[in-house]
């Protein structure tokens, strides 16, 4: 029987229904294999075990035939395959449990496989954003928060910019067509931030201040 672990969400990827004046512009999630490479260092792990196997073969070939030496290096290659499959599996689970959302007011991130949480990033709290893309069109959009907004690096990893611990920068990681998504974000954020705030001051005088 098909079971959706997130069927309690009134809107996919969001903890509550959207207000009437808010609507979804885009939703997506990371590519599992790309996330394994970027966040879990898949390529480095495979290269490490390959180097161990090669080193074992080179050292052993001085004392035995090349065929026998290669047999001694085989366990290292098999260990690398197992480690790689485990990393891909973990990254795939993370990717499938993640939903990135852009609305006309905010960026949202539903993250976490075992412990799920949703981060709301209003555009007025985002000072800057950067996008990195690859030839495959997969890429990452990083948000630089302003003001008193603070996020835990460990709680939000791997959906953050690597190595930025003091000022954690949440990120839409390894998403398809990243350049197009970045354009959607830029248009929505510019529109949202440019909307003037109207507040009433000095009720006795009946004036209105526009910020």
| pLDDT tens-digit readout, 44-90 | 999 999 999 999 998 888 888 888 888 889 999 999 999 999 999 99
Distance between CA atoms of 210 and 187, rounded to whole angstroms?
A: 23
Query: What's the pTM value of the predicted model, to 2 decimals?
Result: 0.83
Q: Which residues of 41-71 are buried (b: 16+ CB within 10 A; e: fewer)?
A: ebeebbeebeebbeebbeebbeeeeeeebbe
Say whether 183 sits in a helix, a strand or coil. helix
Predicted confidence at residue 196, as pLDDT, reads 57
Residue 11 pLDDT level (bands cut at 50, 70, 90): confident
pLDDT at 206 over 50: no
Domain boundaries of the chain, sorted by first residue: 35-94
Average pLDDT of span 158-165:
91
* Size of the chain, expressed as the number of residues it contains: 211
Distance between CA atoms of 106 and 116, rounded to whole angstroms?
A: 19
Residue 207 pLDDT level (bands cut at 50, 70, 90): very low
Residue 112 pLDDT level (bands cut at 50, 70, 90): confident
Burial of 2 (C-beta count, 10 Å sphere; 0-12/13-18/19+): exposed
CB 121 within 8 A of CB 170: yes
Higher-confidence residue of 189 and 9: namely: 189
Higher-confidence residue of 200 and 153: namely: 153
Higher-confidence residue of 5 and 166: namely: 166
Predicted confidence at residue 8, as pLDDT, reads 62
Q: What are the pLDDT digits (tens) for 119-159?
A: 999 998 998 999 999 888 999 999 999 877 778 898 899 99
Looking at the chain, the whole-number percentage of residues with pLDDT higher than 90 is: 58
CB 175 within 8 A of CB 140: yes
Cis peptide before 158 (omega within 30 of 0): yes
């Amino acid at each position: 029987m098909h079971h959706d672990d997130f069927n309690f969400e009134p809107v996919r990827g969001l903890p509550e229904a959207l207000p009437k004046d808010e609507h979804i512009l885009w939703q997506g999630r990371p590519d599992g294999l790309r996330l394994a490479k970027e966040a879990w260092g898949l390529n480095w792990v495979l290269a490490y075990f390959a180097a161990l196997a090669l080193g074992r073969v080179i050292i052993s070939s001085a004392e035995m035939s090349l065929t026998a030496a290669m047999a001694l290096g085989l366990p290292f290659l098999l260990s690398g395959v197992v480690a790689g499959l485990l990393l891909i599996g973990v990254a795939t689970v993370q990717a499938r449990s993640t939903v990135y959302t852009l609305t006309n007011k905010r960026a949202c991130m539903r993250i976490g496989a075992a412990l799920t949480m949703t981060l709301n990033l209003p555009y007025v709290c985002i000072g800057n954003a950067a996008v990195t893309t690859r030839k495959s069109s997969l890429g990452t959009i990083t948000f630089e928060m302003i003001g008193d907004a603070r996020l835990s690096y460990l709680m939000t990893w791997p959906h953050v910019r690597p190595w930025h611990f003091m000022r954690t920068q949440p990120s839409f990681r390894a998403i398809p067509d990243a350049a197009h998504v970045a354009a959607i974000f830029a248009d929505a954020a510019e529109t949202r931030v440019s909307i003037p705030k109207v507040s009433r001051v000095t009720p006795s005088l009946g004036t209105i201040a526009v910020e």
